[in-house]
Amino acid sequence: MQRARAPERQGDIGRLPRRRALLAGAGATAGLLLLGCRGEPVDVRDQAAIAAGGGRGYAGPRVELAFWTGFTGGDRPPMERLLERFNREHDTIAVRMSVTRWGDFYQKLPAAVDSGNGPDVAVMHADQLATAAAHRTVLPLDEVAEALGLRAVHFTRTLWESGVFRGRRYGIPLDVHPLGLYVNRAVLAGAGLDDAALPRARRDYLAALEQLKARGVQGAWVSPGLFTGGLMFQSLLWQHGGALFSEDGARATFDGEAGVEALSFMIELIRRGYSPRDVGQDADSIAFMNNRNAFLWNGIWMINTFKAIPGLRWGVLPVPVLGDRPAVWANAHHLVIPRQTRAGQRRLPAAVVFLDWLSRHSLEWAEAGMVPARREARESAAFQRMTEQATVESQLPHVHFPPAIAGIDAVRASTLDLAVNEAVLLRAAPREALRRAAREADALLASNLRKFGRAS
């Protein structure tokens, strides 16, 4: 978040961040030795070693680095402020940020890299790293991480490992963005519910929804879209002990009993009248902002959106444990270094200096409504004063990232997301929808295995 990918955010109460299924870029190349711009031979292993030299700093001539992100909304100003500070502090390195909507970003980046016109540093979501690595769009960063002295202890084990594909590191975590449970305190108060009724478990959740229903309020709108119904489903799947796909990326597993139970619970919320039928895109969030919805499963990226609405009485909690274990969907932004032409290799050490600086300043990045990746930032008093972010951060021991399987985002979008949509719209039973989607996913996964090989 993935998007989680954090969405574009707007303060307009009638317009909300729209999260699209992101397709990985095309243009796979087969080997480590590649042809860059004008046919120059480029070895990504050599480039990784050159980049690692940035761990000792940069003493070369003045360079300008191209930095690509998808921060088009409320997350753009905090990043711009960071870049202004970096540029003031560095005489020989200037960073220029180019911003593209995430859906376009993942198509544009591999094509630009293959043509020799890619950026020096970029931001990429954890669920896109495997595909980018398989396409050789980004460099392995094991040597860079070692040169910078970065290890799992500086982040969390799960977050650190989200940057790994087939045993090699391709991303340095910048933040993590999980789901949270947003609560509309005005709606709850109107039904006679106070903070003591805030749900932490299944029984609390259903009891509150029943009391809201008795007052004529549908208190938990279930969306048929990936944002937010699909992410709710994934969280519930993991809470029931399930998994999206097998570890080797060979088959779908979301259609097991855990998946059926998770999706059936969502359907039950609709059938009991706790949610309207046919909830439109973003309608759950719009209803929340207009005091018509009490509980909203959405990402941490909504914090700044809700803060900007005058008079909105709201809070955020960890998502309730509706299965037999705590679990919540999350995504993360990673810093990556794209493959360069031979001429661009001279900028690699400077790119690592910038990457390292940005990683060490992730506390300031938290102002964008994110949880900073670095442990020292999360444990700081300054971060703990960011009440909402700190509340969502408490879920870090229980976050689950999409699996590191090349091409998996496109498989999920064209199979599982459609099954959740169909079931939530009451057009198919959960088991039927999931089984059909799993068969289709298995065929796509088999094709991916022929292109990319097994995930592990």
- The 3-class SS string of 289-313 reads HCCCCCEEEEEHHHHHHHHCCCCCC
Domain that residue 255 falls in: 179-330
Between the alpha carbon of residue 207 and those of residues 195, 277, 379, the distances in Å are 14, 20, 35
**85, 130: one domain:** yes
What span, in angstroms and rounded, lies between the C-alpha atoms of 89 and 108? 31
**143, 240: one domain:** no
Q: Are 116 and 85 in contact (CB under 8 A)?
A: no
Residue 424 belongs to some domain of the structure: no
- What DSSP designation does 87 have? H
Return the structure tokens found at 434: 């999931």
Half-sphere CA count of 55, side-chain side, radius 13 A = 16
What span, in angstroms and rounded, lies between the C-alpha atoms of 71 and 69? 6
Return the structure tokens found at 324: 């037999």
Between the alpha carbon of residue 270 and those of residues 138, 223, 261, 321, the distances in Å are 44, 10, 15, 19
How many structural domains is the chain composed of? 2
**156, 228: one domain:** no
Q: Are 233 and 263 in contact (CB under 8 A)?
A: yes
**226, 84: one domain:** no
Number of neighbours of residue 59 by Cβ within 10 angstroms: 8
Number of neighbours of residue 61 by Cβ within 10 angstroms: 8
- Residue 221: phi and psi, rounded to 5, are -70, 125
**324, 338: one domain:** no
The last residue of a domain, from among 311, 330, 349 = 330
Q: Which residues pair with 94 in a beta bridge?
A: 64
The last residue of a domain, from among 394, 411, 431 = 394
Assign residue 265 the CATH number of its domain. Answer: 3.40.190.10
Residue 449 belongs to some domain of the structure: no
Residue 434 belongs to some domain of the structure: no
Residue 435 belongs to some domain of the structure: no
User: Does residue 193 sit in helix, strand or coil?
Assistant: coil
Number of neighbours of residue 195 by Cβ within 10 angstroms: 9
Give the H/E segment covering residue 329. strand 328-331
The answer for residues whose C-beta is within 8 angstroms of residue 230's C-beta and 6 or more apart is 416, 417, 420, 421
The last residue of a domain, from among 286, 301, 330 = 330
Residue with tokens 């303060």: 11
User: Does residue 139 sit in helix, strand or coil?
Assistant: coil
**161, 301: one domain:** no
Between the alpha carbon of residue 212 and those of residues 104, 282, 295, 315, 375, the distances in Å are 41, 21, 11, 17, 39
**92, 161: one domain:** yes
Residue 414 belongs to some domain of the structure: no
**336, 326: one domain:** no
Return the structure tokens found at 88: 């003031």
**312, 185: one domain:** yes
Read off the amino acid at residue 385: R
Residue 141 belongs to some domain of the structure: yes
- What DSSP designation does 11 have? -
Between the alpha carbon of residue 71 and those of residues 80, 93, 226, 298, the distances in Å are 10, 22, 20, 18
Q: Which residues pair with 314 in a beta bridge?
A: 184
C-beta pairs of 309-313 under 8 Å, 24+ apart in sequence: 309/11, 309/13, 312/184, 312/186, 313/184, 313/185, 313/186, 313/189
Q: Quick one: CA dihedral 35, 37, 40, 44, positive or negative?
A: negative
What span, in angstroms and rounded, lies between the C-alpha atoms of 51 and 93? 15
* pLDDT value for 453: 78
Q: Are 96 and 63 in contact (CB under 8 A)?
A: no
What span, in angstroms and rounded, lies between the C-alpha atoms of 319 and 326? 8
Residue 423 belongs to some domain of the structure: no
Residue 438 belongs to some domain of the structure: no
Read off the amino acid at residue 222: V
User: Does residue 443 sit in helix, strand or coil?
Assistant: helix
* Per-residue pLDDT tens listing for the chain (456 residues): 433 333 333 333 344 443 333 223 323 332 333 334 433 445 787 899 999 999 999 999 999 999 999 999 889 999 999 999 999 999 999 999 999 999 999 999 999 999 999 999 999 999 999 999 999 999 999 999 999 999 999 999 999 999 999 999 999 999 999 999 999 999 999 999 998 889 999 999 999 999 999 999 999 999 999 999 999 999 999 999 999 999 999 999 999 999 999 999 999 999 999 999 999 999 999 999 999 999 999 999 999 999 999 999 999 999 999 999 999 999 999 999 999 998 899 999 999 999 999 999 999 999 999 999 999 999 999 999 999 999 999 999 999 998 899 999 999 999 999 999 999 999 999 999 999 999 999 999 999 999 887 766
Query: β-strand 314-317 against 333-336: which pairing, if any?
Result: unpaired
* pLDDT value for 455: 66
**354, 322: one domain:** no
**302, 183: one domain:** yes
Closest CA to 261 of 431, 145, 36, 91: 431
**168, 188: one domain:** no
